[in-house]
Amino acid sequence: MAQARTAVDGSERSPVPNAEMIGSAHPDERLEVTVRVRSRAQTQLAQHIQSLTSAQTPPAPALSREDFAARFGADPADIRRVEEFAQQAGLTVVESSEARRSVVLSGTVAQLAAAFDVQLDLYAHPDGGSFRGRQGPVRIPADLQDVVEGVFGLDDRPQAMPRLRRLAGADAAAPVPSSFTPDTVAKLYDFPTDVTGAGECVAIIELGGGSRSSDLKAYFQQLGIPAPKVVSVLVDHAHNRPDGPDGADGEVMLDIEVVGAVAPGATIAVYFAPNTDQGFLDAVSNAVHDTTHRPSVISISWGGPEVTWTAAAMNAMDQAFQAAAAMGVSVFCASGDNGANDFPAGAQHQPGNHVDFPASSPHAIGCGGTRITVAGDRVTQEVVWNDDGHGATGGGYSTVFPRPDWQSTTVPNEGRGVPDVAGNASPVSGYVVRVDGRSAVIGGTSAVAPLWAGLTALINQKRGTAVGFIAPQLHSLIGTPALKDITDGDNDGFPAGAGWDPCTGAGRPDGDALARALSPPLSTAGG
């Protein structure tokens, strides 16, 4: 008698627009998938997260990574049930983690297709690439319905895009006068100068490309700043593999060089993973639960419109961010570079306004973009980044996540408002970086997430304890010296205005004033 099957909630995959099926995946090809398992104490976890994010109550103390795993990780019995299912399906258990609530399974295309009741085909992508894809839901035995929350890795279509913009036509050897090194932007924004981020670890998520130590050494030597300690963490068989100045190297080097210039005393842990929903989720989960490097801040400069994600993947990523919040880890996400629509110009897209995920997670801090004009050593004008068809800050209202309690008095919509904060992003006022032996000027909200991450590392050192999930506090600081309100400009969908707006959020930071505003302990240090 056939075993009863049920669809995994939110696992439905839709076709990629204009992608052409070119055949079936080879039945003997070996794959790995990540099975996401429920928390052992889901109700208590929800209550704990509510205490962290409520605008009415003081945040709960941050938990160590070990305490979080013990209280809210997967139940060993649930892990065993998934492992038993795998054994019955002829699959191999590669790794199980109670903390990350995951079981990694290996098998052939034929075995995995049978185990999860899917058809795996090969598709040619409109941009010239190819991927293994599926349509419809993933199905599991009915007795695992309450245990399994997602299955990732069957489909390996590209999930996210780097949120960077290069300055078109700029002479690489002589950046335009309006561009700045990251440490200069930090000075313009009055970042604290009596700390370096020492003792902190900033995690950076990368879904492609790589870094070259020779470039980092030369770049920081040129800035006259001590080079930070940079370590690579390889996830899901990915590599630190430079792919050239026109590939993802620009994203990787921008992220590292911005954090390193702002907080040179911090350790930078770069988590490299494949650009799939499985790779993205596994990279974030590994960073959040990393008991070796123990990052207190995570910077994410990759994302995609909410409509390009499965509900299961967004739920799993949001739960990883909830875990980060519970452990006192701040997560900053770029809000996108394609204005309110969030789809690249010329790409197959859906009309209307869309926000970028993971910036739209209510447990991450979304980072929008501005363009600055500088005279001498001060910013004389700062407006919404919108370069008239050459990039604009993402922002708007989520159609997936409701407006969180801490936005109830600042966001005039029932959807989660994006972004929360902002910073210099236009390539016209962009960042001078070094990529594959050459200088370049790069902007995008990709630069804003590591800028805020570096500032947070400085504030964490200054306070002596991690600030953790500070989105509620940031919204409460609207109108104070800690945040400069940006009131001019639009993102081709929404205008800026006084207070929070769906272009630049609560505004850009005044680093010293923000450090003072966050100086009373918000939580005990996480682990």
The CATH number covering residue 214 comes to 3.40.50.200
pLDDT value, residue 345: 76
Burial (CB < 10 A; 0-12, 13-18, 19+), residue 142, is exposed
In this predicted structure, the answer to whether residue 427 has a pLDDT above a threshold of 60 is: yes
Residues 390 and 472 in one domain: yes
pLDDT value, residue 188: 98
In this predicted structure, the answer to whether residue 174 has a pLDDT above a threshold of 60 is: no
Three-state DSSP state, 470: coil
Residues 379 and 503 in one domain: yes
Separation of alpha carbons 21 and 132, rounded Å: 9
Q: Number of folded domains in the chain?
A: 2
pLDDT digits (tens, 9 = 90+) for 430-448: 999 999 999 999 999 999 9
Residues 128 and 171 in one domain: no
pLDDT value, residue 229: 98
Among 79-93, 167-181, 186-200, the range scoring the smallest mean pLDDT is: 167-181
DSSP lists the bridge partners of residue 305 as 356
| Averaged confidence pLDDT in the chain | 93
Q: Is 206 a catalytic residue?
A: no
Among 111-125, 163-177, 287-301, 400-414, the range scoring the smallest mean pLDDT is: 163-177
**What count of other Cβ atoms lies within 10 Å of the Cβ of residue 477?**
20
Residues 424 and 479 in one domain: yes
Separation of alpha carbons 350 and 475, rounded Å: 31
Residue 121 lies in a domain: yes
Residues 257 and 348 in one domain: yes
Residues 94 and 198 in one domain: no
pLDDT value, residue 379: 96
pLDDT digits (tens, 9 = 90+) for 28-57: 999 999 999 999 998 898 888 888 776 555
Q: Is 20 a catalytic residue?
A: no
Among 95-99, 177-181, 194-198, the range scoring the smallest mean pLDDT is: 177-181
State mean pLDDT over 197-206.
98
Among 158-172, 189-203, 243-257, the range scoring the smallest mean pLDDT is: 158-172
Print the SS3 string covering 169-218.
Answer: CCCCCCCCCCCECHHHHHHHCCCCCCCCCCCCEEEEEECCCCCCHHHHHH
Last residue of a domain, one of 108, 135, 152: 152
Picking from 205, 229, 209, 208, the residue whose alpha carbon sits closest to that of residue 217 is 229
Q: Is 255 a catalytic residue?
A: yes
Residues 186 and 207 in one domain: yes
Last residue of a domain, one of 127, 152, 177: 152
Structural domain span for residue 321: 161-517
Residue 65 lies in a domain: no
Residues 110 and 167 in one domain: no
pLDDT value, residue 526: 42
Burial (CB < 10 A; 0-12, 13-18, 19+), residue 130, is middle
Residues 136 and 189 in one domain: no
In this predicted structure, the answer to whether residue 524 has a pLDDT above a threshold of 70 is: no
Residue from 156, 183, 251, 306 carrying the catalytic annotation? 251
As a residue count, the chain comes to 527
pLDDT digits (tens, 9 = 90+) for 336-348: 999 999 998 766 5
- Model's pTM, two decimal places? 0.96
- pLDDT-based confidence at residue 521 (cuts at 50, 70, 90): low
Residue 154 in contact with residue 13, Cβ under 8 Å? no
pLDDT value, residue 48: 85
pLDDT value, residue 49: 84
Residue 46 lies in a domain: no
pLDDT value, residue 349: 65
pLDDT value, residue 351: 85
Phi, psi of 140 (to 5 degrees): -130, 165
In this predicted structure, the answer to whether residue 170 has a pLDDT above a threshold of 50 is: no
Residue 355 lies in a domain: yes
Separation of alpha carbons 200 and 195, rounded Å: 11
Residues 345 and 442 in one domain: yes
Separation of alpha carbons 227 and 220, rounded Å: 5
Separation of alpha carbons 383 and 118, rounded Å: 48
% of the chain at pLDDT higher than 90: 86
Residue 62 lies in a domain: no
Among 8-17, 196-205, 306-315, the range scoring the smallest mean pLDDT is: 8-17
Separation of alpha carbons 103 and 73, rounded Å: 12
State mean pLDDT over 123-152.
93
**What count of other Cβ atoms lies within 10 Å of the Cβ of residue 438?**
11
Residue from 102, 330, 360, 446 carrying the catalytic annotation? 446
Residue 115 lies in a domain: yes
Residue 57 lies in a domain: no
State mean pLDDT over 79-102.
98
Residues 369 and 506 in one domain: yes
Residues 229 and 347 in one domain: yes
- For residue 344, the one-letter residue type is P
Residue 26 lies in a domain: yes
Last residue of a domain, one of 152, 180, 199: 152
Residue from 249, 255, 382, 420 carrying the catalytic annotation? 255
% of the chain at pLDDT higher than 70: 94
State mean pLDDT over 345-352.
73
In this predicted structure, the answer to whether residue 153 has a pLDDT above a threshold of 70 is: yes
Separation of alpha carbons 53 and 78, rounded Å: 28
pLDDT value, residue 523: 45
Picking from 218, 201, 293, 204, the residue whose alpha carbon sits closest to that of residue 252 is 204
pLDDT digits (tens, 9 = 90+) for 230-247: 999 999 999 999 998 888
pLDDT digits (tens, 9 = 90+) for 447-457: 999 999 999 99
Question: Peptide bond preceding 358: is omega within 30 degrees of 0, i.e. cis?
Answer: yes
